[in-house]
Structure 1
Amino acid sequence: MYNSTKNSGGYIANTIVVPMIAVVLVSVVGIFGVMHWSARISDESAAHSQYRLIDGALQLMQNYMVKQQTGVVIWDEAFVEVNDPDPDEGWIFNNMMHWLFQNHGFSKSILVNRDLEVQQAYAQDYTIKWLSEDLLEELTPVVKRVRARYIISFKKTPSGLYSFVPQSSNSRQAIAETGIVALAGDPYLFSAAAVMPQIQSISPIRKPPAVLISLVPLRGEKLKEIAEMSRLQGLVLANLQNTRDGVGRFELLSPQKRSAGVVAWQTNQPGSQMLQRVNPFLALAAFMMAAVVIAVTIFTRQMTKRLARSEAKAVHASRHDALSGLPNRTRFHTLLNDTLRDGIQKDTKTAVVYIDLDHFKDINDTLGHSAGDKVIVAVGERLRRVIPDTGIVARISGDEFAMVIRDSKDDEWLEYILDQVQDEISRPIRIGSRELFASLSLGVAVAPRDGDDPDELLRKADIALYDAKANGRNRRSFFEPTMEHHVQSKDKMSRELRLALKNDELDLAYQPQTDTDAKRIVSVEALARWTKSDGTIVSPAQFIPVAEETGLINDLGLWVLNKACAKAHDWPGVTVSVNVSPNQFKHPRFVEKVMAILAANNLPPQRLELEVTESVFAGRNDSVLQALSRLKNLGVKVALDDFGSGYSSLSYLRRFPFDTLKIDRDFVSDMNGNPEAEAILVSIIQLGKALGMTIVAEGIETAEQIRFLQAHRCHRMQGFFISRPLTDKALGKFLDDFHGANSTGFGTDLSYQPLTAKG
């Protein structure tokens, strides 16, 4: 073992050191290459940054030109003058064009009227030779965009007229476009702005504006301003500038994307400058790296020897459970795969057993996790001791174990082995001064009968385990195809139910409850109904248990509650009863969700009654009682359903003051001519009254039952004799018919025949 570890360590050292030297050499060359590449990228980035500075300076200058134009283009007098059929050209010349030249240096101006015709042109040298067809062609799209923006600024008023509202006077903004054009080979900055009024104007139609175009040469003062704003020296204008190193160029484009000139400058090159400073340090770094490689080589040879010695321990730890020392899930899967492959070659059977400790959570809860860990260790040791030598035992997770039994002869032989397993585990486990008793539920799948794929066998063994636990625990079940069908059916129903909830495909039925005299419907019980899209009716007895097992009961319960509260407004004065599952009370925010639903549907809490069975108290009495008390304090009525069906109902009546007591239907159905059943029924009614509760009798199917309950003043009655569960529409009609027919009373002769309608 030592020699193997030593040789392994030397091999590992060589496989690390030799590539490391190569990596260092490549790294040194790479670093020099990367530095030169980075210098070039830095130079290019600097040039691009300077390019953006010039672009930004040009944009700022053009925006400032728009502001300079504002004084003459947003002016009522100018608006009236330029749009006059016979404009005063001298006034326009002096007060608009010449004024812009004198105050802001716009050496040329063009006024385009509403008909897209040049109305007037201006130049500081009083010539118009510069006004060419090419220039007007360049500027035509710009003028059209300005006119379009002006037109869409009108808002149509309710009267059908159009209103133009300029910006507020303290932040006036012109409707303008800016850009660059070439005149006689020189670039000119221009601003084209709509001439518009200062105040709001109303007109029956929207008319395009006159547009004033003002131009200023880029050469000279403007170019100096760009240099100052961008802080770039040596800016020059050229019609053509060849690309060469160290020279940046910014091409000036006209509105038609034609070249109007080039701004060139000498670029800064920070990357090249940095490289000149860094090269000596790079050489020193290369020398230091070589020294580090030598030191690392020596250190690596020593460390690899230690790593090789601990490798076996690490591999073992990665494949085994730290607590029990048994193979873990990953290792078990590998061993199972190898065993199955060997069994196929030898044509032998292999049994896979899934094991679960019964009620292990109770041990953790009562004695603590330390005791639970000791039980896990003890069970693991006993399992390893009792199975055949060729078998495999693994801890899968928590309180779950798995076994593989090779060369299984038949089911009877397996039964004998599993009997020994259960007998061994049933012996007391001593934890300190305590003796604990554990039991196992086992699920068995046999290859090749149940398949030869590891995952498939584990799945089927798990299905069999579920069957064993569902049938009382402390037993074993061999996988049968019917079990899988049951699981798949439940899974299919679960998925269909989830989809039905998501798509709101479920319905509610409502079963009415009458008062004592059967003259008035005082409450309805909301009942979930499910009809699939193909017309198949799924019984609540089928989908409610599935919802309970899969956790969908929370979503289903809230859906029923929300739907019932929303419909309650259709039946004023009628209380709506909704059944609440015990699992819903496990949600820590169940009360808040009920409050939110009541608020969302604007339903008073007094009109809602929640029905619970005594199973809701199992295991969590204090938290359930607290939740029920909060609901009751909010005004929600709380009913104890199926009273008398359990063994501890009286204790719950003493601990929690229910509003309503619903007598289990079995007492009502058994009372016909049965003195004992009738006596029990009367006792329950009297008990509920003595405690101040409302008494509801369920399952009424005959007139004699109603007469008996009326004689003993049962508060509310419910059953098929009164009505079957109805849809919301059918319930509305039923309520109208019932109250209309019973306005004169119903209690004694039961002569009202529509009452027995089955809905």
Structure 2
Amino acid sequence: MSEKADILNLAEGMDKRALTGQKHPKPAILGIPSGFIIFLMFCAVIFSFGAVLFKVLVAERQAAAREIKSVSRVFENHKHALLKEMERYAASNAAYENTETHPSIDWIGSRFGVDMALDFKHDYTAVLDKDRNVIFATDLHGHTNADIYTRQIDEQLEATLTVIRKKYRQGLVRSAGQVRFAGELSDISGVDIVEIDGRPNIAAAFAIVPDPGGIDMTYGPPNILLTIFKIDTVHLGNLLASLSLDNLKFVTEVPDEMISVPLANNAGEVLGYLAWYPMSRASSIILSSIPILLISLGIILTIALVTMRQNAHARRSLARREKEARHTANHDSMTGFASRGYFHTLAANWLMVRAALRNRASVIYLDLDNLKQVNDIHGHAAGDQLIVEQARRIRQVLGSNGLIGRIGGDEFVILTDRWGAGKPQQSEIEELFRILSLPVSFEDKQIETSCSAGIARFPEHGRKLPELIRAADIALHRCKQEQKNSFRYYDERMDDQLREQRELRIDLVSAIRENELELFYQPIVTARTEVAVFYEALIRWRHPRRGLVSPGVFLPVARNARMMPEIGTWVLERALGEARGWETAGVSINVCTSQIRMPGFAEQVGDLLARNEFPADRLILEITEDLLMEEGAETLRTIRKLRDLGVRLAIDDFGTGYSSLSYLHKFRFDKMKIDRSFVSRIGQEDEADTLVRSMLGLAKAMGMQTVGEGVETTAQKEFLVDAGCEYLQGYLFGKPAPLSELDLSQFRQSATA
């Protein structure tokens, strides 16, 4: 068969499918016996009732499963809450000194037998010494009774106590001739279910350790504080306080019609059950409503017969509007382009025709870069106007040559064989981007706009639409990473790079969890004396296989994965924690825009300063220039709160982003950091020298101190000093290094300064 015949057959098949999709349903045939219709409707209602009853029964089972899960979770939370109560008594310097350093039975009895009993209710308390002997024991009534432990509890808790003692010994470290505990409190505590006098009890144990520490310790097994809580009416009442149950009780055998949660010890032995009647019992109510249903059924069927006649008239009216409704459903109301689903249908046929004709085509995946920013700054009406105008421009450039779909809020996919020779002609695609980059008018304002695009070619990069869109999307992703307001052609090597980034993203999630991140510090010195007064905290990733990964590699991955707020919080906590022991040296920390946008960021900084007892005026937060594009009221409030705390703010990498005098005036920074790209050209380009002097003059005029970044030569240093730069940073004064490798004399110099 000839190529032309193939194409005609293909087109005919497409027409038939189109006609099938537009075929109107035939009206109901008149003359059908009404009794048959009523019978069918009756059967439908009965079936529906049965289906509802079935769903109710299924829902009851699911509700029972949720209740069991809720009770189990609350019971576990209850056990851990008991451990938290004990922590306040077992983890203290006084407890350690009076049980280990200078044992005092009177103090133990007063603290653990009286104070703790008044603080939270429990039924039995015991203190075990390092030799596992009971040195103190008392019950709820104040009776000393060590036999309860030795006769009924000791053997059941042996495994739990052994683990606690082992973890305690592992947590002891020797440092500078002293012993201290460096483990986690959660490792030296445990809870189990034990049986006393035939009933289950919650047994909680906690090793006695110093907190906050700073006192002499001995190297050996711990003393252990033990409390017993009966699972009785009081404890069940505490559980009910957070549940919607009113009949929870303890049983050894679960009665019929009740559901339960087993009470098992850590060895898996079931000692009893918490049982209750399920809340959802709607099936019995539904069954009792069958007579009412039958009466209602007759009324409903009568009304249905009348409605059928009215529907015949309505059908004719709906048919007249069907064509308009179909168009509305298949096209975007704002742009007139094909909607996502309809576009995929049309595109499949469009590509089949090009394949039959052996024509080449291009797929352009286009994204409006700043739609969200326009919505945030100018309102959604401006964003809608931007979309409408850009759609008009696309249609103006492409005309009727191609297929266009709006597949997302700010995303368009264009299929065109206008550039059938393969790659779109460079001049034509550049003209499209030039037009799309022109400002858009809105309410007498000119809104700046830009777009990015990835371009794939048919059939080289795929013969099906999903393959082509994937290739174009990968190219678009690369474009946004490298340079917005531009376009990139798909290259197979992009797949490898995308896979590499995906692996890095997965490893980065693990790195945060496995504590593979660390901080290096680089000194910031005074320009004239070269004394270190601040240290900039710089994040590093020590990958188990790749070694030390540069932040220039993994931070863009973290930014795309929206992990920067989490990483930024980690840097803040670690840097302030490590800097708390410095005398008067300050720390400078980079924060990203997404971190500042987080609700409560200023409060978080204030809490960390208070927790680490670190003066606010010794903390500098370095903010990149992309924050200056944020005019939101919440961002300004956050900046003001940070200023009220006394924190200093620095604009980082000045001159590389969106700097303007109005933004600098609005945000009122304390310091300006001259980017290394300018410093590196000092003495090599007259323009660079002039720019640096201008930046320093601007900072001085606005009351900001200045820091020159990336200083590596004496000539650069002398130029900056002569130009009035107040602080310097770079390899000339010290490379970034871990805290353990820093010369501690630098800190003493800072204190002297």
Query: What TM-score, normalized by structure 1, do the two folds share?
Result: 0.54
1:332 aligns with 343
Q: How does 1:47-66 map to 2 (within 5 A)?
A: none
Q: Which amino acid aligns with 2:629?
A: A
> Pick from 40, 50, 71: which aligns with 1:23?
40
Query: 1:530 offset after TM fit, Å?
Result: 1.4
Query: In the alignment, what sits opposite 1:576?
Result: 587
CA contact (8 A) 1:5 1:309 kept: no
Distance in 2 between residues matched to 1:656 and 1:30, nearest whole Å: 68
Picking from 14, 28, 50, the partner of 1:11 is: 28
**CA apart distance, 1:510:** 0.9
Question: Helix, strand or coil for the counterpart of 2:737?
Answer: coil
2:573 pairs, out of 557, 562, 573, with 562
How many angstroms apart in 2 are the aligned matches of 1:344 and 1:648? 50
Q: Indicate conservation of the 8 Å contact 1:613/1:640, yes or no.
A: yes
- The number of residues matched between the two structures is 521
Deviation at residue 595 of structure 1 after TM alignment: 1.9
- Secondary structure at the residue paired with 2:468? helix
Q: Is the 8 A contact 2:650 2:673 kept in 1?
A: yes
In 2, the alpha carbon distance for the partners of 1:390 and 1:29 equals 56
* Residue 525 (structure 1) aligned to one of 536, 559, 574: 536
2:739 maps to 1:723:
no
Cα offset, 1:563, TM superposition:
0.8
User: CA separation of 1:157/1:14 partners in 2, compared to 1, >3 Å: closer, same or farther?
Assistant: farther
SS in 2 for 1:526: strand
In structure 2, what is the equivalent of residue 443 of structure 1? 454
What aligned pairs does 1:548-697 form with structure 2 within 5 A after superposition? Answer: 548-620=559-631, 626-642=637-653, 658-665=669-676, 696-697=707-708
**Structure 2 stretches of 5 or more lacking a match?**
1-20, 58-122, 129-133, 144-196, 199-283
- Partners of 1:650 and 1:33 in 2: CA distance: 73
Q: Deviations over 1:695-749 (max 9, x none)?
A: 5454454678778888999765443343221212112xx1148859x99x9x9xx
Q: CA separation in 2, counterparts of 1:157 and 1:470?
A: 61
- Contact kept, 8 Å, 2:335 with 2:387, in 1: the verdict is yes
Following superposition, the deviation at residue 293 of structure 1 comes to 5.0
Give secondary structure in 2 for the equivalent of 1:555. Answer: helix
Contact 1:387 1:417 in 2 (8 A): no
Cross-structure match for 2:521: 510
One-letter amino acid of the counterpart of residue 410, structure 1? A
Structure 1 pair 673–299 and aligned structure 2 pair: CA distance change class (3 A): closer
What is the CA distance between 1:16 and its match in structure 2?
13
> Displacement, 1:635?
1.6
Q: Aligned partners of 2:444 and 2:672: how far apart in 1?
A: 47
1:32 and 1:355 map into 2 onto residues whose CA distance is 51
Farther-moved stretch of structure 1 (481-490 vs 15-24): 15-24
Whether 2:370 is the aligned partner of 1:353: answer no
Query: Closer, same or farther in 2 for the Cα pair 1:17/1:512, shift >3 Å?
Result: farther
Give the aligned partner of residue 405 of structure 1.
416
> Using a 3 Å threshold, how does the CA distance of structure 1 residues 730 and 21 change in structure 2: closer, same or farther?
same
Matches within 5 A, 1:742-753: none
The residue number in structure 2 matching 1:321 is 332
- Structure 1 distance, partners of 2:576, 2:431, is 58
Pairwise CA distance, 1:676: 11
After superposition, the Cα gap between the structure-2 partners of 1:282 and 1:623, relative to the gap in structure 1 and judged at 3 Å, is closer
Matched, 1:735 2:747: no
Separation (CA, whole Å) in 2 of partners of 1:349 and 1:446: 7
Question: Counterparts of 1:431 and 1:679 in 2: how far apart (Å)?
Answer: 38
Which residues of structure 1 form unaligned runs of 5+?
Answer: 42-152, 169-192, 195-270, 748-759
Query: Is contact 2:377-2:631 (8 Å) kept?
Result: no
Change (3 A) 1:497 1:284: closer
Q: Mapping of 1:154-165 within 5 angstroms? A: none
Q: Distance in 1 between matches of 2:41 and 2:705?
A: 89
Q: Displacement, 1:307? A: 4.2
Q: Which stretch shows the higher mean deviation, 474-483 or 372-381?
A: 372-381
Q: Which of 483, 487, 490 is matched with 1:479 structurally? A: 490
Q: Which whole-Å deviations, capped at 9, do the CAs of 1:486-520 have from their partners, x for residues lacking one? A: 44444443443343234331110011244567585
Structure-2 separation of matches of 1:687 and 1:31? 77
TM superposition shift of 1:569: 2.0
Normalised to the residue count of structure 2, the TM-score between the two structures is: 0.55
Equivalent residue letter for 1:735: L
- Equivalent AA in structure 2 for residue 22 of structure 1: F
Distance 2:139 2:483 in 1: 84
Moved more, 579-588 or 364-373: 364-373
Distance 1:386 1:494 in 2: 39
Q: In structure 2, what is the Cα distance between the partners aligned to 1:31 and 1:710?
A: 86
- Aligned-pair CA distance for 1:616: 3.3
Q: What displacement does 1:308 show? A: 4.3
Matches of 1:427 and 1:682, distance apart in 2:
34
Question: 1:41-93: per-residue Cα shift (whole Å, max 9, x none)?
Answer: 9xxxxxxxxxxxxxxxxxxxxxxxxxxxxxxxxxxxxxxxxxxxxxxxxxxxx
The AA in structure 2 aligned to 1:23 is L
* Cα contact 2:624–2:653 (8 A) shared by 1: yes
CA contact (8 A) 1:663 1:696 kept: yes
Deviates more, 1:414-423 or 1:310-319: 414-423
Q: Which deviations, in whole Å up to 9, do the C-alpha atoms of 1:535-573 show, x marking residues without a partner?
A: 432222233344444433322222211110011123232
SS at match of 1:531: strand
Aligned-residue Cα RMSD (Å) equals 5.6
Whole-Å separation in 2 of the counterparts to 1:435 and 1:656? 24
Q: Is the 8 A contact 2:532 2:746 kept in 1?
A: no
The CA distance in 1 between the partners of 2:124 and 2:486, in whole Å, is 85
Aligned partners of 1:573, 1:332: CA distance in 2, in Å? 64
Letter in structure 2 aligned against 1:457: L
How many angstroms does 1:473 deviate by?
Answer: 6.2
Counterpart check, 1:396 vs 2:407: yes
Give the Cα separation in 2 of the matches to 1:603 and 1:500: 27
Q: C-alpha distance in 1, partners of 2:725/2:49?
A: 98
Q: 2:649 and 2:417 mapped to 1: Cα distance?
A: 58
CA distance in 2, matches of 1:331, 1:342: 17
CA distance in 1: counterparts of 2:697 and 2:392, whole angstroms: 60
Contact (CA 8 Å) 1:10, 1:305: kept in 2 or not?
no
Are the equivalent residues in 1 in contact too, given 2:126–2:136 (CA < 8 A)? Answer: yes
Q: Which amino acid aligns with 1:391?
A: G
* Structure 1 residue corresponding to 2:549, chosen from 525, 538, 550: 538
Give the one of 503, 510, 535 matched to 1:499. Answer: 510
Q: Distance in 2 between matches of 1:16 and 1:385?
A: 59
Q: 1:578 is paired with a residue of what secondary structure?
A: strand
Alpha carbons 1:353, 1:444 under 8 Å: kept: yes
Query: Separation in 2 of the partners of 1:428 and 1:683?
Result: 30
Distance 1:698 1:603 in 2: 25
